[in-house]
Structure 1
Amino acid sequence: MKTKVNEISIKYQGNFKISQAPKISSSVNAAELLYNTWNKDQIGLQETFKVVLLNNANKVKGIFEVSTGGITGTLVDLRILFAVILKSLSCSVILAHYVK
């Protein structure tokens, strides 16, 4: 009997090498990087939760927006969060939540 299942994948967008990726060496670096990725038109309107995926050298592999909520909250599905972290083979993560 042959069983078929769906494959979960993560897509990297961009065409730069990991050697060109920014390195996170302080909380200031992380805050600046995250602020630059946030939609400035909605930063004070909706709560958003993101995860920064890092390799062993603290180079940014990518940023994934886990959830966007309303004015007073956003729900994070831990199954999605951990699936992205594990599937990307990240060594470290930075969790970020913006609320005004």
Structure 2
Amino acid sequence: MKTKVNEISIKYQGNFKISQAPKITSSVSAAELLYNERNKDQIGLQECFKVMLLNNGNKVKGIFEVFTGGITGTLVDLRILFAVVLKSLSVNLIIAHYVK
């Protein structure tokens, strides 16, 4: 009997090379990038938890929104967080929790 299982998959949206990706050199550069990536059409109402995925040279591979919560809090499922980090083969990561 052949067993079937689901495959976890993530994908990159965009068509730029990693050499063109921004490099994180400090907490300030990470905060600026996350601030600029937010949806400016939404008011600061819901809490959000994101992870910035980095390669060995601290170039940003992508930003993944792990969870959006309510007005007063957000919960993070660590299984989802680690699945994305491991599947993307990221070397470094920056986690961010803020109101979006």
Q: Deviations over 1:56-81 (max 9, x none)?
A: 00000000000101110011100000
Tell me how far apart the structure 2 counterparts of residues 99 and 64 of structure 1 sit (CA, whole Å): 15
Runs of at least 5 residues in structure 2 that lack an aligned partner in the other structure = none
For 2:86, what is the secondary structure of its paired residue? helix
Residue aligning to 1:66? 66
Q: Does the 8 Å CA contact 1:50/1:95 hold for their aligned counterparts?
A: yes
Q: Deviations over 1:12-31 (max 9, x none)?
A: 10000000000000111100
- Pairwise CA distance, 1:39: 1.5
Count of residue pairs brought into register by the alignment: 100
Deviating 4+ runs (over 6 angstroms) = none
Q: Does 1:13 align with 2:13?
A: yes
TM-score computed with the length of structure 2 as normaliser: 0.95
TM-score computed with the length of structure 1 as normaliser: 0.95
Residue aligning to 2:79? 79
- Pairwise CA distance, 1:41: 3.2
For 1:50, what is the secondary structure of its paired residue? strand
Q: How does 1:12-31 map to 2 (within 5 A)?
A: 12-31=12-31
Cα distance change on mapping 1:81 and 1:43 into 2, 3 Å: farther
Residue aligning to 1:32? 32
Tell me how far apart the structure 1 counterparts of residues 43 and 22 of structure 2 sit (CA, whole Å): 23
Structure 1 vs Structure 2 CA RMSD: 1.2
Tell me how far apart the structure 1 counterparts of residues 94 and 73 of structure 2 sit (CA, whole Å): 19
Runs of at least 5 residues in structure 1 that lack an aligned partner in the other structure = none
Cα distance change on mapping 1:21 and 1:51 into 2, 3 Å: same
Q: Does the 8 Å CA contact 1:43/1:98 hold for their aligned counterparts?
A: no
